[in-house]
Amino acid sequence: MKKKVAYFLFFVVVAATAGCNKKFLEDMQSYDKFDESMFASEVLTGSYIDRMYHFYFASYRNPTQTLVGTYESNRTNSTDEMGGNMTNFIHPNRQLLQASQGDTYFGDALRSAVDNKPYTRIRFANFLIEKIDEGVGQALPEEFRKTSKGQMYFFRALQYYDLVRVYGGVPIVLDVNNASADDESIKIPRAKTSEVFDQIIKDLDSAVALLPMRWSNESVNYGRFNGAAAMAMKSRVLLTAASPLFNPNWDNPGDQRWQKALDAGLAAETALKAAGYGNAINSAKDWAEVTFKNDNAFNGEGIFVILNSNTVTSSTGLSNGWENTIRPKDHNGSGGISAPKGMLDMFPLADGSRPVIGTNYNDTFFFENRDPRFYRTFAFSGAKWGVKGNTNKTTWLYRWRENATKAASYYGNNNTNSPAVVRKMSNPAADSTNFPFSGTDIFDYRYGELLLNIAECYAAKGDIGNCLTYLGKIRSRVGISSANNYGIGTPADKYAALEACLYERRVELAYEGKRFWDLQRWMLYADEASIGDNTNQKLGIPDLNGTSRQGYYWQLNTFSKNDLLSPADRNIAIDPDASSFATEIAKLKALYQSKFVMTPLDQAWDRDGSTPVTILFRPNYYVSGLHSSLLSNNPWMVQTIGWQDYNGAMGTFDYKQ
């Protein structure tokens, strides 16, 4: 069990024991009651900082969630990783065009009470940056003031990064403003998208300058932002800025945005390696266990980590709901995440080559001869997936029917739309009586992502050799043979190299909340001339629009009122780390051939009511319009191209500038 979640529990302890400001909690609920006295001591300043961590991450309960502060799943549910949830983003029978349909993430009116919205969080960061070196704050130790400001610069950068990804250019506010309907000086217009990216990088540079690469007392400070995280974030931010959505010049190998992103990635790699990062994964087993094997302690794979506590007392810590979400019913979980067939068929084979149905891959036996990461990402019938007190528990996902018209019965009540479910980032020692309070940390940014960022920059610059070197680093650490460039082969040109990078991201970062952002920044739902998009054609990536997430059942091949599988039939325990792995895989294959058939879903997974539908992500969704409630309170704000403004006219703000 985690002893504490530093940034949350510290705040609770201060409120309970500090005694130096009993009104601190109350004062933090308004803009006008707290002042520089918050910086009268390290304890009070620490509580202020910890409150910021809570504002940002208290809702981060699942690694597939996105957007700091709110952490929602709509974007992940709009990708090929998830099935059956026709969000507004991809629903073909709903069109988002009016200002009233714009994304509400931005917020609207500034109120006197704390409303945990982006510009509230920015305001709190600005307040500390502006005030800590003045008045009573000057008595604080210089190093403490530096690291306090460094964390605030990181907070501000992180918030502006999500704002720019959602809206493109937004107002840049770098000082503390009070709410006012009359003050013309705070009617700040939208900055250019490029200016927002520039400001994010300035803030991250400030964070790098002020924060240690690693905290000296990690038993207390692990999980706080540090210089390593700030350097890595520069790579992520600059990669986004260089990508086609925001960079009309992306196809020019000499474009300086790719070079800046590459320089940031390489600088981060060098500095992080020197600080002890990058050495945590040396096998597929390490890859599977990285999120929980060094619980609440430094891990060389975790660059930006959200700590969680598995205490059942919700007021004393934050927990991770992922374990409960992915566990099937017979594990005492909420039912699991069924894996779309496209995800199962997408992962490489054991030698790293791409699976091609009918050539080197039989999708009936999807579990045979796959990339080592496949067996750590998905669980399927016969797969060993332990829980606390039963390390040998196995998973079974199949059904049977008494006759062709009778409703099906499911083994263990595991009513899934796929013969496989997601198991990535699961702890096999998790307590099945307490899954909702899992203490597994969320790795928002892993070292593997940094390597992938570098590979992509090399590909965009046409440096295929170095691109392959970095893709090889990803694959070598999970045990894939180096033959034929780790199964990747040699891309014919930079477009094929870019496609290889995006493919590798789908595998390495599956179910980590990254897929939507890759689809977005490369505009990969479909090519659209009206926004200057031809990346699917250039990269040879099929459109996602017009497709649907597909599932199927493993069904017993004989009608029966009861389950015809015996305990002896289910005497299979597939463990990719065991010497018996190949034998157990062969036993499962033989069992399937003897007693199962692949059966279509009873109804389409993607549907509108009972009508099957296919994905339609419209081009104006890549960058959202401002919501009507925001525009009504801020009439000087210009609406985004592709969206109607408050009065119904089409927006004119160009997010590509």
- Using one digit for the tens of pLDDT, what is the confidence trace for 171-180? 999 998 776 6
For residues 147 and 4, the model is more confident at: 147
The pLDDT value recorded for residue 387 is 96
Q: Which helix (H) or strand (E) element contains residue 597?
A: strand 596-600
Residue 95, pLDDT > 70, answer yes
For 232, 570, 604, the CA distances from 317, given in Å and listed in that order, are 27, 40, 40
| pLDDT, the chain, mean | 92
Confidence band for 9, pLDDT divided at 50, 70 and 90: very low
Residue 426, pLDDT > 70, answer yes
The pLDDT value recorded for residue 183 is 77
Residue 8, pLDDT > 80, answer no
Tell me where in the chain the CATH 1.25.40.390 domain(s) lie: 214-232+245-320+439-522
3-class secondary-structure state, position 553 = strand
- Using one digit for the tens of pLDDT, what is the confidence trace for 562-595? 999 999 999 999 999 999 999 999 999 999 999 9
Instruction: Please tell me the distance from the alpha carbon of residue 76 to that of residue 513, in angstroms, as a whole number.
Output: 6
Other CB atoms within 10 Å distance of the CB of residue 566: 8
The pLDDT value recorded for residue 4 is 33
Residue 25, pLDDT > 50, answer no
Query: Rg for the chain (alpha carbons), in Å?
Result: 25
Query: Can you read off the two tokens belonging to residue 1?
Result: 């069990």
Confidence band for 561, pLDDT divided at 50, 70 and 90: very high
Percent of the chain with pLDDT over 90: 86
Percent of the chain with pLDDT over 70: 93
What backbone phi and psi angles, to 5 degrees, belong to 303? -90, -40
The pLDDT value recorded for residue 182 is 73
For residues 476 and 114, the model is more confident at: 476
Choosing among 3.40.50.300, 3.30.310.50, 3.30.70.20, 1.25.40.390, the CATH entry for 214-232+245-320+439-522 is: 1.25.40.390
- Is the pTM higher than 0.85? yes
- Using one digit for the tens of pLDDT, what is the confidence trace for 331-368? 999 999 999 999 999 999 999 999 999 999 999 999 99
The pLDDT value recorded for residue 396 is 98
Which range, of 21-25, 263-267, 286-290, averages the lowest pLDDT? 21-25
3-class secondary-structure state, position 93 = coil
Confidence band for 184, pLDDT divided at 50, 70 and 90: confident
Residue 539, pLDDT > 60, answer yes
Residue 292, pLDDT > 60, answer yes
Confidence band for 297, pLDDT divided at 50, 70 and 90: confident
The pLDDT value recorded for residue 196 is 98
The pLDDT value recorded for residue 545 is 98
Instruction: Please tell me the distance from the alpha carbon of residue 577 to that of residue 475, in angstroms, as a whole number.
Output: 17
Residue 383, pLDDT > 80, answer yes
Residue 1, pLDDT > 50, answer no
- Using one digit for the tens of pLDDT, what is the confidence trace for 36-54? 888 999 999 999 999 999 9
Residue 16, pLDDT > 60, answer no
Calculated CA dihedral for residues 322, 325, 330, 332, nearest 10 degrees? 70
